[in-house]
Amino acid sequence: MKRGEGLTTRELEARLGVSRRLVAGLVAAGLVTPARGRHGEYIFSFQDAVLIRTAGSLHRARVAPAQILRALRHLEQLKPNRHLAAVRIGACGGKVSARDHHGDWIVESGQRLMDFEARRETDGRVTELSRQQPAYAEADAALAQGLALEAVDVRRAEAAYRRAVSLHPGMLDAYLHLGCVLADQQRLGEAITLYEAALAVLPDEPALHFNLGVALEDTGATQAALSAYERSIELAPTDADAHYNAARLHQELGHMQKAIRHFNQYRRLERPDR
């Protein structure tokens, strides 16, 4: 994403691992307001991309899309003078939470969240938590730095993302952004190695399998890419793009029956009435 430019829906899918349906829901709700490109395609600003990334993270945290939209609309009403991309938003127990100077709270109910675990004197877990929290906060700050730098200094953004994953090896968004930075520079071997390392830590994250499939496909490793897409579908059966990519590769390999099945599933998932 260069200075003064934006991202299309397809580029958001590839970079952030978000579904087209989730992006369309955010647009329909007026939570993101893309411009139109030369051919009528949506062009999303950096702030829109940050909010879409947040919505994608909430979805991967098992928050239902309808609940994400309700919570974001409610949060937008509560903070009318602040872009939602600047609000610290997370997930807690399947609900959307936000953070202010008093701490975390559930957006729809307003309930404050207390960290009872940190207050409990148990078998050393409090000490372990106290060591982990600063590392995660530092990793989160490195991720935010990478996002801010990516539009203007890709090399420094890459360094920030690498620092994030070194500080917190389970930080999915840092892996996804770093992988896309590498792939955008045609450093596909490095991207593949990164995704494989990420999957050793996060083996059940469909976005990692999907992005690995894209990188493998770009190197011509069709069968390996297909396996990655199929695993992504096992973990996220409603991901229309994974079905579409699997269908293309099955067709390329001459597996027509499987190709038709995935194409049909893709069409069902892309129906406007869903």
**Which is more confidently placed, 269 or 272?**
269
252 in the same domain as 231 = yes
Tokens of 191: 């991207």
In a domain, 242, yes or no: yes
211 in the same domain as 145 = no
183 in the same domain as 213 = no
Pairing of strands 88-92, 35-36: unpaired
Owner of token pair 């892309």: 270
Note the pLDDT of residue 198: 94
Determine what percent of the chain is predicted with pLDDT higher than 90. 27
CATH number for the domain including 255? Answer: 1.25.40.10
At 134-188, the pLDDT tens digits run: 677 888 888 888 888 877 888 999 999 999 999 988 888 899 889 988 988 899 9
**Which is more confidently placed, 184 or 201?**
201
Tokens of 197: 């390392």
At 98-138, the pLDDT tens digits run: 776 556 677 776 666 554 333 334 344 443 434 445 677 88
Report CA Rg, the chain: 19
In a domain, 122, yes or no: no
Q: Are 188 and 211 in contact (CB under 8 A)?
A: no
**Which is more confidently placed, 49 or 256?**
256
In a domain, 220, yes or no: yes
CATH number for the domain including 74? Answer: 1.10.1660.10
269 in the same domain as 253 = yes
**According to the per-residue pLDDT averaged within each range, which of 6-15, 116-125, 247-256 is highest?**
247-256
Nearest-angstrom CA–CA distance, 97 and 104: 6
| Domain stops at, among 87, 115, 143 | 115
Domain containing 100 equals 1-115
Q: Are 98 and 89 in contact (CB under 8 A)?
A: yes
Q: Where are the beta strands (DSSP E) in the chain?
A: 35-36, 42-43, 88-92, 95-100, 103-106
Nearest-angstrom CA–CA distance, 97 and 95: 6
Lowest-pLDDT choice from 2-16, 27-41, 98-112, 122-136: 122-136
Tokens of 8: 């299309």
What is the model's pTM?
0.57
111 in the same domain as 1 = yes
194 in the same domain as 220 = no
182 in the same domain as 75 = no
**Which is more confidently placed, 97 or 157?**
157
| Direct distance between the N- and C-terminal alpha carbons of the chain, in angstroms, rounded to an integer | 31
b/e sequence 198-222, b meaning 16+ C-beta within 10 Å: bbeebeebbbbbbbbbbbbbeeebe
Pairing of strands 95-100, 35-36: unpaired
**Which is more confidently placed, 187 or 7?**
187
110 in the same domain as 12 = yes
Note the pLDDT of residue 46: 76
Owner of token pair 């399998």: 209
252 in the same domain as 184 = no
Total structural domains within the chain: 3
209 in the same domain as 199 = no
Which alpha helices (H) appear in 168-187, and where do they start and end? Answer: 172-184
Lowest-pLDDT choice from 51-60, 100-109, 121-130, 195-204: 121-130
List residues bridging with 43 in a β-sheet.
35
170 in the same domain as 270 = no
In a domain, 120, yes or no: no
29 in the same domain as 102 = yes
Note the pLDDT of residue 87: 72
Nearest-angstrom CA–CA distance, 175 and 60: 14
Nearest-angstrom CA–CA distance, 131 and 105: 23
